[in-house]
């Protein structure tokens, strides 16, 4: 439980205990009915004190004075604590402290995306299209509302704050994608993540090739120069527009052409031509076997258990071919 949640729990249970004590005490000593006992206690604790109901017994008056003194302290502490928490933490974060991610115990093998911009919108859409659960780390409430409106789960906090990654369950995450608009902050966030987890895959964008080595030394698994890739596609539209259109089509998982990485887990070696005879339609662009790479394998090439295949095909063909591979 976070510090904020603990403080709220302490305030809540202190007020409940005080109200319960006063209600029972007035009911017992003043012979008031339960509702009026509760009513009197709440007006005392909240320091309103209408005076329409007053204690008549010695014990009741002592309890009254005790509740006044105690209520001022606890109620004042509650109000000041809530105000302090709201000043130092956003309401979005407070709510997440109690109801984070619709059940954080189920959060596993998800992808944490750091930053909310045009790039990460596309990243999140692509991840969702491929069946991944996405948690987006943002720094303010406005961005969090945009993330939630887009259908993703948001956590508000600094990307350099260790607690925000712990809240997002980095220890159970598949990968972290760092896509802030500042390369230096992405670099510092990489270092922070590596302090918390040595196993999670870290993928970062970097618009400066000079800094790439720094990212790898900091612990990033992959560094992508998005500007370089985008520039190549833009240039391709000048001299090979059809190729550029194909590349853009393959970048979207929902429709048209797509590229997919799958693992060959059959219990025996299998020639590609035999796979074709079973109805396999996708193009096998690459087979990765350990440190070896086999490009454009022909029909006689034998696939072995553990091979990684890079496939290209229409979305519907890729889906059916994955099911075929899984059934072997």
pLDDT of amino acid 56: 87
* Contacts (Cβ under 8 Å, ≥6 apart) of 60: 25, 26, 29, 30
User: What is the reported pTM?
Assistant: 0.63
Rounded to whole angstroms, how far apart are CA atoms 124 and 151? 10
DSSP string, 135-196: EEEESSHHHHHHHHHTT-EEEES-TT-HHHHHHTTGGG-SEEEE--S-HHHHHHHHHHHHHH
| C-beta separation of 145 from 206 below 8 A | no
Work out the average pLDDT over 215-244: 89
- What structural domains and CATH numbers belong to the chain? 3-88 (1.10.287.70), 99-229 (3.40.50.720), 255-327 (3.30.70.1450)
pLDDT value of residue 94: 46
Pairing mode, strands 292-295 and 283-289:
antiparallel
pLDDT in tens, 84-143: 665 544 555 544 544 454 555 577 899 999 999 999 999 999 899 888 999 999 998 888
Q: Is the pLDDT confidence value at 268 over 50?
A: yes
Instruction: State how far the Cα of 176 lies from the Cα of 135, in Å rounded to an integer.
Output: 10
Query: 37-87: per-residue pLDDT in tens?
Result: 888 888 887 766 666 788 888 888 898 888 888 877 777 777 777 666 655
Buried b vs exposed e over 270-299: b needs ≥16 C-beta within 10 Å? bebeebeeeebebebebbeeeeeeeeebee
**pLDDT above 50 for 321:** yes
- Residues with Cβ within 8 Å of 256's Cβ and at least 6 positions away in sequence, in order, are 249, 250, 314, 315
CA distance 227 to 230: 5
Mean pLDDT of the chain: 85
């Amino acid at each position: 439980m976070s510090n904020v949640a603990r403080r709220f729990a302490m305030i809540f249970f202190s007020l409940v205990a005080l109200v319960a004590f006063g209600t029972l005490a007035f009911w017992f000593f003043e012979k008031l009915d339960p509702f009026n006992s509760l009513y009197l206690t709440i007006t005392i604790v909240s320091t309103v004190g209408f005076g329409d109901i007053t204690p008549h017994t010695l014990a009741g008056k002592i309890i009254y004075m005790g509740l006044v003194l105690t209520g001022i302290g606890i109620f004042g502490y509650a109000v000041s604590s809530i105000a302090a928490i709201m000043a130092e933490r956003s309401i979005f974060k407070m709510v997440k402290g109690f109801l984070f991610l619709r059940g954080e115990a189920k959060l596993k093998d998800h992808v944490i995306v750091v930053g909310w911009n045009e790039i990460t919108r596309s990243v999140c859409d692509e991840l969702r299209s491929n069946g991944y659960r996405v948690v987006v780390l943002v720094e303010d409430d406005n961005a969090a509302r945009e993330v939630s409106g887009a259908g993703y789960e948001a956590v508000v906090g600094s990307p350099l704050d260790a607690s925000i990654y712990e809240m997002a369950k980095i220890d159970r995450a598949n990968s972290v994608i760092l896509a802030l608009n500042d390369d230096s902050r992405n670099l510092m966030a990489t270092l922070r993540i590596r302090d918390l987890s040595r196993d999670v895959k870290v993928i970062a964008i970097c618009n400066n090739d000079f800094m790439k080595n720094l990212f790898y030394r900091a612990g990033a698994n992959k560094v992508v120069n998005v500007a370089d890739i985008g520039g190549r596609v833009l240039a391709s539209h000048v001299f090979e527009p059809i190729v550029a259109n194909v590349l853009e089509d393959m970048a979207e998982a929902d429709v048209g052409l797509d590229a997919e990485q799958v693992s060959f887990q059959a219990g025996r070696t299998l020639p590609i031509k035999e796979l074709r005879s079973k109805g396999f339609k996708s193009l096998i662009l690459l087979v990765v076997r350990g440190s070896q790479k086999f490009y454009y394998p022909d029909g006689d090439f034998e696939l072995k258990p553990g091979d990684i295949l890079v496939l290209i095909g229409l979305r519907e063909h890729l889906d059916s071919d994955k099911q075929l591979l899984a059934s072997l």
